[in-house]
Every structure is written in C-alpha cells, then in structure tokens.
Chain A
Amino acid sequence: MKSILCVVCFLMGPFFLQADPEKIQEELHEVVTSTSKAFAHVGLASGVMIGDKHYILTNEHVVARFKKEAPITINGVGRFKAKILAIDKDGDAALLELILNKEVKLSSIRLAEDKVTPGQWVFTLGNPYGVATQTKVPSVSLGVVCSQDKEEGVHPMYDNGIQTDASINPGNSGGPVINMKGEFVGIAGKHRTRFGNRCQTGSNFAVGMDVVLGLVDRAKVFDGYNVVKKLNTSVKSKILKVGNSVSEFKKDDEIVCLDGKVFEDGKNLLGYMARQCLHGVDSCTFEIKRAGKKMSINIKLRTVKEIEKEEESKGENGEEKKVRRKKTKKKKK
C-alpha cells in the first residue's frame, strides 16, 4: 500500500513542479510592490534606500550636479534633503544620507550576498524619461542578467558590472537592480545606444556589488566620521566625531592629505579609500594636524565583514559572560 502511494506521489511530482504563470505574476507583483517602497527619487533620476541608517545609493553622475545636498522625494513620505557622504567617480556610485528633522517610517532594501549568475531574473525600478514624476510610483522593467564581467579596468561601461536586458533609459540612472528575492544587486547606470539614437538595444549596464559594498563599508567603518571644509588652504577638512572602528583618530584632528593627495571634501576621500580597498590595497596613510602638530596615521582598510569577524573572536568571552549573567538573573528570580 505504502509503495503504491509512493509511486503515485512520485509520478505526480512533475505535474506539481510545473510553473504556474498566474502564481509567477502574483509573486512578481508582491516583490515589486514591496521593494518599490524603498525607492527614492534623486532629483529627476532614481535611487534606493538601504540599511537601517537611511542611506541612499545612486549613481555618481546623478549627484554630480549637486554640491553638498541632493533633493530626495519618497513616495507617500515627503520631500527631504540628503547629504552626499561618499562618491566613487570611476565606479559611478554615490552614497547619500537622508537628513531627517523628525521621525518618519522608512522602508529599505537588503543588499544581496550571493553573486548574480547569467540567466537569473532581475528587475529595475526607476523614473525613465521622468514618467514617474507625477505619481511618484517607479516604473518596473523585468529582464535577466546577461553577463557579469570579471576582468578589471578594461570594460567600456562598468568594471565588474552587470549586463542586463531589463531596459534602462535616461532617468533610470541610480535606480536599483533587484533580484527575485527582493535584494539589491546593482545600480542601474548606462545603456548601449544604437547609431547614437536612444533606441533600446537590450544591453544595459549596472554598477556591481563590489563598488557598492566598497562605499557602504567605508561609510560604516567611518561611522560618525564627519568632515568640514575649511577656508584655510593647507587644511581642507576636520574630524568632528570619531567612529568606534577608527580609534586612531581623535576629535578636532585636521586632515591635511591622504596618501599624499589633497582632497577638497570628505565624500571624495571616502570614495578614494573605497576604490583603494577594491584594488586590494590594505592600508592608507593620513597626514593630520593634531593640536598644531603634524602627524601621520596609518589606517587599515578592512571591510565590515573582517571587522565583525575580529570583534566576534575578541568578544566571544564577553558574550559568554552576558549569557551567564542572564542565567544568574533568572536564578535570582
């Protein structure tokens, strides 16, 4: 009896396995509407909110025209300004931080941990040709990952970028490319034109996760790192607050240069470090002025994951203690 049941189940299996188009579109609808909430209009172009700190990811060429702050509109929430935290000109990525005067509920999108594979489904959210400016609801376009490049420094569009056939048009720039789990996999940036006309060729390009993570990591590592542009020509910026992971710095340190290069403002400085990190450089040297004295500081360029691992190995004992404390508290009760 059991065996017959098994055989029947086994034979029926493939029928259940058939994809149901209605279910597929229902799932698509869900993932699209849930991720659309994290969409942010950056000027006339696009962007997306990530993480819990109100960071916004977009293209460098989108924010290039804004000096310090970019105008942001979020559907159903309102208009804001965002500070430009870090930019990576070569990678065409920018990280912004929302300036919030009051508390608002914002949704955000997860960053993908898995790499993309050719053939995988992705979709873009954006404001192509400004069509979403009226309703503020972004346009969706579905496609697949065409290829992902591995060789560095030679791609005419983006190194390590994603090629997709989900359509990317002017205005889609800075918008997210999202996989079917609803995770962020790239920033939509460029498309290949045909004979100079803005005709869709199906070869569209997105900034890959390496560049994105580089920027996000730098912003996280330098948590609270704040730089102020000064009029003094020799000293360009000054540290206002010191993050936990970069204890080498102290408050009111004035940054003279980094690796012998003078940066006009903090956003380029973070972008430079992110790029160095991408190229496998593991440390960089700051020249600073502390209380009038010139000093040089060597900073290790570690990713957030590396720092977390180190902290885990350090903090294992501490965690155990915490657990013990809880247990003891229970006992007392």
Chain B
Amino acid sequence: MKSSIQKILFLLVLALCPLLHGGEIEKIENEYIELANKISPAVVSLYYDLNKIEGKKNQVDNSEGDSGNKGKAKKVKEDKKIEKKDETEVENRRRSYSSYMYQKSGVIVSDQGHILTSINALFKEESMILNARLFGGKSYKVEIVKKYPKQKLALLKIDIKTPKYFAVEKRLPKSGSFVMAATDEMFAISLSKRCAIQTGVVCQVSSVDGITYIETDTGSGSSSFGGALSNAKGDLIGVIDSFCSNDRWFCTAIALNNLPKELTEKFGKKEVEKTLPSGLATLTSCFQNAADKIKDSVVTVVAERKYWTRKKFIGDRHKQRPESGRASGLVIDSEGLVLTSYNNIETAESLDVVLADEKKYKAEIVGFDAYQDVALLKIKAEGLKAISLSKDVEIKTGYFTVVVGRDQPDKEVTIATGIVASDSRKSGKSFETDAPINFANSGGAVIDIKGQLMGMAAYVNEDPSALQGVNSGVGFCLSVNSIIKILPKLKKGEKKSFPLQAYLGISFDGDVINQIYKGSSAEKYGLKVKDKPVAINGKKVSNNKEFTSKIKKTKVEQKVKITVLRDGEEKEVEVVMGSKAKRGR
C-alpha cells in the first residue's frame, strides 16, 4: 500500500516537472485563456428586434412578400441565380451588422436567468421587443424586471433553466489589479457564438453622484455597454458603462458595491472565488508594488487657462478644452522641484501643484524645453519625497511599463500598464510605450516592474488634426537619461519654446471659409463664414491652396489686405496677422 502511494506521488512530481521548465509566458497565457473560457458563457448580447417596430412593419412585410414571389420564380430558373439571392441576403445581413446602434451587452447573474445591464444599454421606450443571444448562439425574449436609475442599472430576465452565471464581488478592486472585460463587442456572440474579451488593469476607482465607477485601461466600444467587468478570479466586479468616462475615455464600469437589497436578493448564491490564479496574482502585485513605491512623488499640476487654446481632441469636436486642466507631475527634489510635461503648462496663466497629501502650493516656472516636452516647476515646500533618477534602468523593447499619474488630488493615483514598444524614438531622447497616455497622466511617472523610473509620460497631442491621438497605444515618454541631461539646463532657467508663426485662424470647405476660430485675428478683424477669398494684397488667388500658401509666407503682426467675395460683392478686409506656436517634431 505504502509503495503504491509512493509511486503515485513520484509520478505526480514527474508530471509537474515539465511545467517547471515551461515558458513563463505560456503559463500566464493559459491562465488568461482559462479565465476567458470561464466567464464567456455568462455574457449575453442584447438586441432589439427592429422588424417589430411599428411603421417599419409594413415595409418588412412587403419585402418578405417580394422575396417570396421571387423565390417562386427562381425555382424555375437556374441554380446560379439562387446563389445570387443568397449573396444579397448576406449583403443585407452585413448591412444590418454595420449599423451597430441597437446591440449592447448584458451579464447573467443568477441561475433563474436574471440579467444585469447598464440602463444606457436600453431604449427609453419600452414598446420594442428586446432579445438576448446567449453563448452558443441561442436567442431568448427578454422581460425587463426593473430599472434602477439611481444606480444606472437595469435588471432583466430570460426564461432559461440553470444557465452559467457570475458570482458578484461587492468589494472594490485596488488600482492596478487585473481585469477582463467580456462583452458583445463587434457582434462577437452573433458571429463566433461567444463573447469578445479585452484585458487591462484598474486605473482608478472613484465615485460621482453616489455611484462608484471603476476606470480601467481596457478598450471599450459602443456595443460593450452593459457588459461584464471581471476580476482575475472570474467574478463580476462591475457593469460596463463608458458614458461615465469623461476625460480619459477608457472602459469604465459601474461598481456593484452599493446596491439596494431587492436587487442583490435576485443574484445567484454562488460565492466569489477565494484564490487568485498564481501567475496573474504575481503580475498584478508586481505592478501594484512598483506603483506604491513611487506614488507619493507623483503630484497633480493644476493649470488655469484664461483663454481657449486648441480644440479638444475627443468627443464633441467643437467643445473647448476646460479652462482649468489637471495633469500629473513628478517631484524630483526634496526642496520642491517638480517636473511635468510642457504641453500641460504651455498656455497656463497660473499654476498650482497639489501634493499627494492634498496640500496645495503655488508654482513658478523655472525652465522648459518645448521640443522635449518638459518643464521644471518650483514650489515653496520642503522635505518632499523625491523620485530617484538613475541611469541604470534597462529600457528594452518588450519590457513592462507602468504609467502612474495623478490628475485628481483627492483620489488615488491612476495606473495604466503596457510594454516598451520601441526603445528609441525622437532621436533617441525618448522611448515609446503601448500603455495609454493622455492629458491626465502626461507628466506622470513611467516605471518598470521594480519601481525604478524609466521616464516621464509626455508628447500628448491636443490638436484634432494631429496624427497620434490620446490613448492611441502610441505614447511617448522622455527617457530618464534625457531628463538627467536636460535638468541642469532647466535649473539654470533655460526656456526653449516653439518659434511663432503667422496665424489667421480660419478653415476651408472647398474654397469657402467654413470656420473662424475664437480669439484669432480672423475673428478680430471681421472675416466671416461663407466668405470666399479672391485676393491677397491686390494679387489674385484662384483657390484655397494658393491662398493658404501665400498666407503662410506672411510674418507675425504683418498687415495683410484680404479681398473676399461676400454675398456676391467683393470686400476688402485689412487683417493684422496673429501668431501660433510652430510645432516641430
């Protein structure tokens, strides 16, 4: 008997041996796949039956009738034509998929078939028929049990027996912990019969109007609304609703910490898992520990802007950037030197720095370099915890990066993770990361998994016509070596800004002006929308290209006579050219 147990144990150890020698990535990859397989069956696709809308009903009936008649006629004809009919059907379906307005996600939370979703995923009018498509492709009719506008949630129900469902985790996750979003993004459930997953980490947990939101650095499309945000154990920690994300535009979820009892009673009785998968646990704690080491040195830089600068990149194209902007900064000296990125302070009228302990200080600009997107501020404080700058940090392509920012002084730091996308960019002065970098964390610290500073997040572009956007996964960081090199210059008070170029402040639609920017000289001197420029200083121009090339050759504060065609009459407007920073690469 003893010998048999020995043998079994020996065999077990032998079986474990190959695992010990396996690739590290493979192990953690398997944990990802297992987790994806575990949570996928409990995510549903919610869609409205558009054929049942009144008014459209007749059309649909007619078309069905037509196809029926055609079908009869086709029976006589050759097979090829039937194939063609299939093609048009496929084309119709493709079209219906392309108009992806009416399809969102939901999460099964009980063995009775209760589905939790975001209230924003549903139509306001309740006359339309809502359906749910489950893992495997089967469809069910959905009954709306109750809407909870205060919590921004809705409870639905489908008639199904013992489906797989999520256990609900009511405790809030820590910043930097692993999350997996499981949604019906891009019709995944209709097309591949299982949901799509996206992964990332928790950036920040914050609450607005009594609702707690979990902000993550995973992606999120419009059809992921109502989908599941799961933790590394496969428990539901939030219902995705990215309407709540204002500045950062990440996947944001409504936390389930503060729900009414009548809602929680409906949840299934499955308990949350107690143990984390080992690989994910170590990776997560590694990121969190690294961020914890330096988070006291990351501060908020508040910039007051009196006038409008450039258009905001995301959302409403014509919305202006808020007058006061919050970004991150780095304490590099215990006697009050704070490093931040130049674009944060470029047009600021006054600057404040808020430390990790919520103490607010007025800041003065010591020096800056616009080309390297770095600025040095000074605050009157002592005994600060400074981040250490070391040349020994290894920056190799593929190494993990953790971007730590602090845009809200009263809240925890924001954490976003990624890898080094390229070790040398911008003539070797910076490196690239695929972690999302935005207005909020620009100026913040980019650290490796040991908590050593690799660089400072920078080069966020605000210009809507600019190429690389916010959170695009193409982010640049000024490397620690460049910071060490440029610091003495900044301390001496070197101020290198972009050269100014002449700026009129209009944009064209064809040859006609379609927009006049606020505060520009075009507005000041009376150019109007729908004007068509025909001459500069008496010289005729035929199209907008010619006009812009001639306007570009003028100098700042030069007087220019522009002849425009307004309401069929030629009018001469004298303009003094304004100025704009000429951004170099």
Contacts and interface: CB of A to CB of B under 8 A. Distances in A.
Interface of A: 2-3, 6-7, 9-10, 13-14, 16-25, 27-33, 36, 117-121, 128-132, 134-135, 137-144, 146-151, 153-157, 163, 165-167, 169-170, 180, 192, 194-195, 197-203, 205
A146 B198 contact: yes
B185 A163 contact: yes
Given A19-B282, A21-B282, A165-B218, A135 B422 contact: yes
Contacts of A14: 278
A48 to B, nearest CB: 16
B131 interface: no
A119 B419 CA distance: 18
Contact of B13 (A10, A30, A149, A150): A10
A140 B434 CA distance: 7
Given A142-B434, A165-B198, A195-B315, A135 B424 contact: yes
Nearest to B461: A129
A144 B32 CA distance: 9
Contact of B468 (A131, A132, A146, A166): A131
Contacts of A9: 13, 16
B397 A192 contact: no
B472 A167 contact: yes
A180 B251 contact: no
Given A197-B469, A199-B471, A146 B190 contact: no
A32 B449 contact: no
B365 interface: no
Contacts of B195: 147
B90 A25 contact: no
Interface in B423-445: 424-425, 427, 432, 434, 436
A117 B33 contact: yes
Contacts of B400: 21, 24-25
Given A118-B37, A195-B314, A202-B219, 12 more contacts: A20-B24, A21-B282, A21-B400, A27-B24, A33-B398, A117-B36, A141-B434, A149-B191, A167-B474, A169-B473, A170-B467, A199-B314
B186 A163 contact: yes
A130 B29 CA distance: 31
B278 A29 contact: no
B36 A199 contact: no
A18 B279 contact: yes
B1 interface: no
B422 A138 contact: yes
B40 interface: yes
A29 B5 CA distance: 43
B278 A17 contact: yes
A14 to B, nearest CB: 7
14 contacts: A3-B9, A9-B13, A10-B12, A19-B24, A19-B282, A32-B398, A33-B398, A128-B474, A139-B434, A153-B94, A167-B474, A169-B474, A199-B469, A200-B471
B90 A154 contact: yes
A28 B186 contact: no
B219, B283, B464 interface centre (most CB from chain A within 10 Å): B219
Closest 7 CB pairs of A and B: A202-B219, A167-B473, A119-B36, A19-B279, A29-B398, A28-B398, A141-B434
B251 A146 contact: no
B97 A19 contact: no
A121 B25 contact: yes
A140 B317 CA distance: 30
A151 B192 contact: yes
A199 B470 contact: yes
Contact of A154 (B24, B93, B199): B93
Contacts of B76: none
B94 A154 contact: yes
B551 interface: no
A17 B23 CA distance: 10
A14, A22, A23, A157 interface centre (most CB from chain B within 10 Å): A22
A7 B419 contact: no
Contacts of B397: 29, 32-33, 36, 137, 140
Contacts of B29: 119-121, 180
B377 interface: no
A281 B264 CA distance: 55
Interface of B: 2, 5-6, 9-10, 12-13, 16, 19-20, 23-29, 32-37, 40, 90, 93-94, 97-98, 100, 185-188, 190-200, 218-222, 249, 251, 278-279, 281-283, 286, 313-315, 317, 396-400, 418-422, 424-425, 427, 432, 434, 436, 449, 464, 467-474
Given A9-B13, A19-B282, A140 B422 contact: yes
Nearest to B37: A119
Given A169-B473, A194-B221, A13 B6 contact: no
A239 B45 CA distance: 52
A266 to B, nearest CB: 26
Contact of A28 (B33, B251, B278, B419): B419
A143 to B, nearest CB: 8
B10 A6 contact: yes
Contacts of A139: 421-422, 432, 434, 474
Contacts of B2: 3
Contacts of B399: 25, 28-29
B449 A21 contact: yes
A202 to B, nearest CB: 1
Given A3-B2, A140-B434, A147 B192 contact: yes
B425 A19 contact: no
B422 to A, nearest CB: 5
A129 B468 contact: yes
Given A13-B16, A198-B469, A200-B472, A119 B24 contact: no
Contacts of A140: 397-398, 419-422, 434
B33 to A, nearest CB: 4
A141 B187 contact: no
A199 to B, nearest CB: 6
Contacts of B90: 153-154
Given A21-B400, A24-B283, A140-B421, A200 B436 contact: yes
A67 B474 CA distance: 31
A23 B24 contact: yes
Nearest to A29: B398
Contacts of B281: 18
A194 B221 CA distance: 7
B318 to A, nearest CB: 13
A202 B221 contact: yes
Contact of A25 (B100, B314, B419): B419
B424 A10 contact: no
A118 B398 contact: no
A142 B418 contact: yes
B396 to A, nearest CB: 5
A155 B33 contact: no
Contacts of A148: 192
A203 B227 CA distance: 14
Contact of B28 (A24, A33, A141, A165): A24
Nearest to B32: A119
A9 B199 CA distance: 34
Contacts of A142: 418-419, 434
A26 to B, nearest CB: 8
Nearest to B420: A140
Contact of A120 (B9, B32, B190): B32
Contacts of A147: 185-186, 188, 191-192, 194-197
B278 A18 contact: yes
A90 to B, nearest CB: 12
B422 A199 contact: no
B266 to A, nearest CB: 29
A146 B473 contact: no
A156 B91 CA distance: 10
Given A10-B9, A132-B422, A199-B470, A120 B33 contact: yes
Contact of B473 (A20, A155, A200): A200
A119, A134, A194 interface centre (most CB from chain B within 10 Å): A119
